[in-house]
Structure 1
Amino acid sequence: MSLTEIRTRIQTACDEAGRDPATVTLIAVSKMQADERVREVLQEGQRVFGENRVQEAAGKWPGLREEFEAISLHIIGPLQSNKVRQAMDLAEAIHSVDRPKIAQTIARISDEIGRCPALFLQINTGEEPQKAGVLPGEADAFVAECRALSLPVAGLMCIPPVEEEAALHFALLAKIAARNGLDGLSMGMSGDFEKAIRFGATHVRVGSAIFGARD
C-alpha cells in the first residue's frame, strides 16, 4: 500500500469522525527497513518517523538527516535506562515512557542538557504481564509524578492486546487522557489506525501498511 493511500484513508477516517486531518500525525514506523526504502518514503514527502530501537535509530537517521530537512524522529519502542540520553539526543518525541524509573532518568538528563523531547506515557490497557506500561489504575498517579518532575507530558500511548477489540482500549486510553487534561493520544497501527482516529488518536504508528514486509 502506498503512502498516498494511507494519507487518503486518514483523511476519510477524519471526515467520518468530524475531525480536522491536521490533528492526526502519521508516524511512519521504519524499524528494520532498508535505508533505500526509507529514502523512498522521504522522497514522497513523509517527515515523521518512528523507531523501536535507539541503536538502530542512531545508525540510520544522522545520515538521512544530512540528506533531508525537517525530519521528526519518534522513539516508540521500550526504552532502557542506559539508552535514555541517546534517545533524547536523537528524538523529538518518546512514546514509551513506561515506568517511574525511566521518567526519573529522563528528568535528570533533561536538567543536565536543558531540553526534553515530547513524552507519551505508555499505559498497559490490557494489563498484560508481558507488556510494558503502567496499569490503568496507576495511570493518574504516573501522570502526576511526571508532571511533578516538570516533564513535558504530551499524552498517553497504548498497544492493545492482539486478541481483543482494539476500540475498547482506545476508548479507555482516551478516558484516562481526558480526566488528566491530556490531548495527545498515540494509538492505532497498520491494522486499526482508522478505528483509533474515531476514538481521538492524535498520532498513529503505521509501518507495514506503508513499507511492506520488513527485511
Structure 2
Amino acid sequence: MRSTRIPSHTRIRTLGTATATAAATAVLLLVPAGTSQAAPAAAPGVAPAAATASAPGGNAAILGIDYGAWKRDVAAVMATARPYVEQRIAQTPAGEKTAIVLDIDNSSLETDFHWFWECPTPAISEVRDLTRYADERGVAVFFVTARPGIIGSLTEHNLRSVGYPVSGLYVRDLPDLFNEVSAYKTAKRAEIEARGYKIIANIGNKQSDLVGGHAERTFKLPDYDGKLS
C-alpha cells in the first residue's frame, strides 16, 4: 500500500449487488433511530422460513438456511482454525510480522441472517474471538472484501462496533468492480505481503476468498453451494 493506513472500503460480489447494497445503506442512514420496520414480503413463490429464535431473519431465512445448523458448521471450522493459529503464533520467530486476512459477509459478520436495516450487523463470535486473540499477540488483522468503496466507512464502523480489531480494510474501487473477485482478493493479499507481513491464515466462505495463494493456511466457512453471499 502507499500509506500506513489502508483506505476504508467494503465488499460486494457483483456490480448489481453493489448497487443494491449502497441503496440499502442509504435507506439505513435515513431511518431515525428506534424506528420499527416490518420484514419485507418474501419473493413470489418463496415461502419464508418460520420466525424462530434459531433463525433471526434476513436472506438466509427466506432461503430456508437454519441459523443453528450454520452456527454449528462455523464452529466446526473454527475448532480447526483456532488451535492452528494459537500454535503458529507461539512458533513465530522474533521480528516476523504476521497477519490474518478475513472476508466479511458471512465470514466475519452474520450478514445474510439479519435484515439490512439491522445495524450494526452482529459478529460471528468464534471468528471475532480468534481475531482478538491474534491482535492481542501482535498479529495484524486485515479485511479483504468485495464490497464497494462507497460503503467502506460504514463497514469499518460496523466491524469495530461489534468488537473486531481492524488493522486495515480493503474494498473494491470502481475499476475493481469489473474484475474477477478472486483475482482482486489475491492481489490485495499480495499487497499485504509486500508490506512485510506473513499471512498465517486466510478465512472466508467462498472459494474466491481463498484461491490464489499468498496465505499459509486457508479456512472455508459454509456457503451451502453459494446460497450465502
TM tier, smaller = 0.3 to 0.5
> Under a length normalisation based on structure 1, what TM-score does the superposition of the two structures give?
0.35
> Under a length normalisation based on structure 2, what TM-score does the superposition of the two structures give?
0.33
Mark the structure with the bigger radius of gyration.
2
The structure with the largest helix share of the pair is 1
Q: Which has the higher contact order (CA 8 A, sep 6+)?
A: 2
